[in-house]
Amino acid sequence: MTPTEAIPLLIVVLLMISIGGSDVQEMSVTFQGDHDIESLADVHVVAGGATTVPENATVDGNVYVIGGTTDIDGTVDGDVTLLAGNLSVNDGATVTGTLQTYSGSATVSSDASVGQISQFEPPTRSSSPAQRVVGFLLRFLVLGAFGWWLVERHPLVIENVGAAITEHALVNAVVGSLGATTLLVLFVYMAFTLILLPVAIVGLIVEFFIVLYGQAVFGYLIGTRLPIERDGVATLAGIAAFLLVLELLGFVPYLGGIAQLVVAVVGFGAVLNTYFGLQRFEPVTISRGT
């Protein structure tokens, strides 16, 4: 699952937690890799990778699955909510609360024990090629319009972010990963306080916007290398090519997800380092005195 897909679903999870009135002190989120959960502090969110509740292990708290694959072989002493991804409650597993399915794929063994099963049935969704094309076109329209506006109205802004990406990719990756993670943790903890919930949601929306900003700049950089004279048209073509590459990476197990994440954090860091493109980024250098 890409960050652009995970952040909106994470906002939904925060709203569900807040509306439920749970007293949440600690929350963990997994995006990539394989993980075993043997204990939980209140809430765990699976956004990607493969997560397992091992056999004979008991997890105290609620589990939210918004991506990746989750296998429950042991006990979850709480509720399990599936918003996207794949969930399996296997033989001998126990969920003491409610298994709520909104979307995604859920498999519950006949030998598993579940307190209650509830399934939300939205309008029928199809994973047909036509639907994927429509989703691709919607993303292209949003990013394309934003990229076109930047190139036509604020070319220096997008040039500054693009220069930071091409000239200081490693620095941006470090800043982006630290910045995105820190902000994500901050907003998640803020959401546990009812008064700060609106601030947390706005913050997550801004973080989502920064990810989109970085993607638009990657498209712009690809466009500058195409034999197209008009900058706006070149940017549109570059964004289309960039989104196509992201779509293809999604079919590559593990490495594709890692590549998508690297692209996101590099763009995120470049936007932060240039103050949203308002100034050129030059890393601080330390000179040795004689």
**Number of Cα atoms under 13 Å in the Cβ half of residue 111:** 5
Instruction: Give the pLDDT band (50/70/90) at residue 1.
Output: low
Cα–Cα dist 73/90, whole Å: 5
pLDDT of residue 145: 95
Q: Which pLDDT tens digit goes with each residue over 144-169?
A: 999 999 999 999 999 999 999 999 99
The dihedral region occupied by 240, where left means phi > 0, alpha psi between -120 and 50, and beta the remainder, is alpha
The pLDDT tens digits for 5-16 are 677 777 777 777
pLDDT at 214 over 80: yes
**What's the mean pLDDT in 44-68?**
87
Is residue 227 very low, low, confident or very high in pLDDT (cuts 50, 70, 90)? very high
Q: How far is CA 113 from CA 13, 61, 87, 89, in A?
A: 25, 17, 15, 9
User: What is the predicted pLDDT for the residue at 167?
Assistant: 94
- The mean pLDDT value for 198-208 works out to 85
- With 0-12 CB in 10 A as exposed, 13-18 as middle and 19+ as buried, what is 6? buried
pTM: 0.64
Structure tokens at 60: 């105290």
Dihedral pair phi/psi, residue 96, rounded to 5°: -75, -25
What pLDDT is recorded for position 41?
Answer: 57
Average pLDDT over residues 278-283: 89
Helices 255-273 and 169-191: crossing angle, nearest 10°?
A: 90
Confidence of residue 120 (pLDDT cuts 50, 70, 90): confident
Instruction: Give the lowest-confidence range in 152-161, 164-173, 175-184, 191-200.
Output: 191-200
Look at 145 and 199; give whichever has higher pLDDT. 145
The Cα 215–Cα 65 span in angstroms is 25
Model confidence at 107: pLDDT above 80: yes
Distances in Å between the Cα of 178 and the Cα atoms of 24, 35, 163, 183, 269 are 24, 21, 20, 8, 9
Q: What is the pLDDT of residue 285?
A: 65
